[in-house]
Amino acid sequence: MAVHYQFEGSTAAGISVSVEFALTHGHLAPGDSLPPVRQLADELGVSPNTVAAAYRHLRDRGLVETAGRNGTRVRHRPPVSSRLAALPHVPDGVVDLSAGEPDTALLPPIGEALQRVSRTLATTGYSAGPHPALLAKARERLVLSDHLTVTAGALDGIERILTAHLRAGDRIAVEDPGWAALLDLVAALGLHPLPVRVDDDGPRPEGLEEALRQGAKAVIVTSRAQNPTGAVITEDRAGELRAILTKYREVLVVEDDHAAELADEGLYPLAGTTTNWAFLRSTSKPYGPDLRLAVLAGDATTVARVEGRMRLGAGWVSTILQRLVVEMWSDRAVSVRVEKAKGDYRQRRRMLVDALQSRGVGAHGRSGVNVWVPVADETFAVTRVRDAGFAVSPGSLYRLGTPPAVRVSIGRLRPPMYEPLVEALVEAVRPSRQARQPV
């Protein structure tokens, strides 16, 4: 439904400012529809072309999106600070399986590592950059390139890579379904996404080839633990993708290995297939959300551009944080804790996927902390599962053109929850006649 808010403006710029004001001050919420172009034009006494230009400007900035027959609506996570949360509030008594976060109980404690770092703190100058000890450890763990740098997490690294090579309006191949935060970033940068379908083995070769034929200047793929499907790029699939990319040497290839040490599947990177490439491995999933750090390996030009641009802005990732990561990487007890977490996540995924498949429900979750369950109606599915006491994410947050689904995160999943959750998901996929009847 369209919102009831009095927009203002006699120019496209003025109207777009009014919409942004409504969003940042809580008058518009993520997912709200904007008035139809002609309706708003009549209300403001301007040409429909003026309103259309305002909506186009908002869309280019990633604030709104075209929703087909539903007109124009606010993106679920627009790139402005708002008083309203991007995702619906999880009611009291409902288990949140929508966040996609790791289980805090499985994260290694950082207290001892922090104490070790604090005992040897030294004053850092204003040209610190990547810490040599971190780069040395990273080279032991990630032998892909002699050129390495550090960014403030995977998404920060991806943004810096894209802005180093692309400009607004450029086409970019993205996974579909794919990471919601990445799709929002692509929109905010004014890039045009070309969806590449994903199956359990990663991006489908024919989809990648079609995107490249359509002029994609960059490709972003997830190596393992793909969000939201849990896909893993297998050795065979990596070979197929590399064969395609060799015909498009000028294309930028960005790989995200965010699961890092939590992934027990083999790693088959696409690194080096094209002239410009980057591979990111972050630390927040295995070690904790506050460890916003990623090691970026890539070709010399890409790494130099990212590092140079960072020096003009943030400067560098905190040296204290870099040294903390070195301590965590060097601690045998931490490694044991991460290894245990890897096994726990694997068991949780398999139990949920196997239970659903045994009931005839298709489910995907080969790796990572999410399970992807195709459904016929996302709204019904999310509501049905919530009524059973669980919050899951609607697939619309992650999809561009793929069929409906819901994403179930396993971070807070416990053994007593499996049976009622599976029953609710089965009912969500194949609702009984009674459940279909209107209340």
Give the separation between CA 428 and CA 270, rounded to whole angstroms.
38
Q: Are residues 201 and 133 in the same domain?
A: yes
Predicted local distance difference test score (pLDDT) of residue 67: 73
pLDDT at 66: 84
pLDDT in tens, 201-211: 999 999 999 99
Condensed to tens digits (0 to 9), the pLDDT of residues 125-162 reads: 666 789 999 999 999 888 788 899 999 999 999 999 99
| Residue 282 Cα to chain centre, angstroms | 13
pLDDT in tens, 281-314: 999 999 999 999 999 999 999 999 999 998 888 8
pLDDT at 86: 47
Query: What is the total residue count of the chain?
Result: 439
Torsion sign, CA atoms 24, 74, 363, 280: negative
* Span 76-91, pLDDT tens digits: 888 887 654 445 578 8
Give the H or E element holding residue 77. none
Of 24-38, 149-163, 226-240, the range with the lowest mean pLDDT is 24-38
Contact between 362 and 345 under an 8 Å Cβ cutoff? The reply is: no
Mean pLDDT calculated for residue range 236-253 = 98
Q: Which domain holds residue 47?
A: 12-74
The backbone region for 272, taken as left when phi is positive above 0, alpha when psi lies in -120 to 50, beta otherwise, is left
Cα–Cα distances (Å) from 408 to 64, 242, 284, 349, 365, in that order, read 26, 31, 20, 10, 10
Which region holds residue 349: left if phi is over 0, alpha if psi is between -120 and 50, else beta? alpha
Rounded to two decimals, the pTM is: 0.86
Does the structure show a pLDDT above 70 at 437?
A: no
Residue holding tokens 């920060």?
156
Last residue of a domain, which of 298, 330, 362? 330
Other CB atoms within 10 Å distance of the CB of residue 136: 11
The reply to whether 232 and 264 lie within a common domain is yes
What distance, in Å, lies between the first and last C-alpha atoms of the chain?
21
- Between CA 144 and CA 419 the distance in angstroms is 44
Banded pLDDT at 24 (limits 50, 70, 90)? confident
* Cα 358-400-346 angle, rounded to 5 deg: 35
Q: For residue 1, tell me if it sits in a domain.
A: no
Domain boundary among 284, 312, 330: 330
d(C-alpha 63, C-alpha 344), whole Å: 38
- Average pLDDT of 329-356? 96
- DSSP labels, 353-395: HHHHHHTT---B-SSSSEEEEE-S-HHHHHHHHHHTTEE-EEG
Band of pLDDT at residue 1, cut at 50, 70 and 90:
very low
**Are 326 and 349 in a shared domain?**
no
How much is the pLDDT for 122? Answer: 67
Same domain, 21 and 135: no
User: How many whole angstroms separate alpha carbon 217 and alpha carbon 215?
Assistant: 6
| Continuous segment of H or E residues that includes residue 222 | strand 218-222
Tokens of 437: 């009847």
Mean pLDDT along residues 336-347: 96
Residue 115 CA neighbour count, 13 Å, CB half? 3
Is 165 among the domain residues? yes
219: three-class secondary structure by DSSP:
strand
Report pLDDT for 313. 84
* pLDDT beyond 70 at 223: yes
Nearest to 390 by CA among 31, 99, 101: 99
229 plus 278 within the same structural domain: yes
Domain CATH number, residue 232: 3.40.640.10
Decide which of 199 and 114 is more confident: 199
Q: Are residues 302 and 363 in the same domain?
A: no
Task: Give residue-wise pLDDT tens across range 374-407.
Answer: 999 999 999 999 999 999 999 999 999 999 999 9
In a shared domain, residues 171 and 223? yes
8 Å CB contact between 277 and 271 = yes
**102-117 as b/e, with b when 16 or more CB fall inside 10 Å?**
bbeebbbebeebeeeb
Q: Name which of 296, 302, 241 is nearest 269 in CA terms.
A: 241
Same domain, 338 and 412: yes
- Peptide bond before residue 177 is cis, with ω within 30 degrees of 0: yes
* Residues 6+ away with beta carbon under 8 Å from 432: none
Within a domain: 393: yes
Q: Mean pLDDT, the chain, as a whole number? A: 91
Report d(CA 128, CA 132) in Å as an integer.
10
Q: Is 235 exposed, middle or buried (0-12, 13-18, 19+ CB in 10 A)?
A: exposed
pLDDT at 88: 57
CATH number at residue 33: 1.10.10.10
How many separate domains does the chain show? 3
Q: How many CA atoms lie within 13 A of 200 on its CB side?
A: 10
Residue 54 in 3-state DSSP?
helix
Percentage of residues of the chain with pLDDT beyond 90:
76
Look up residue 153 and give its two tokens.
Answer: 């997490």
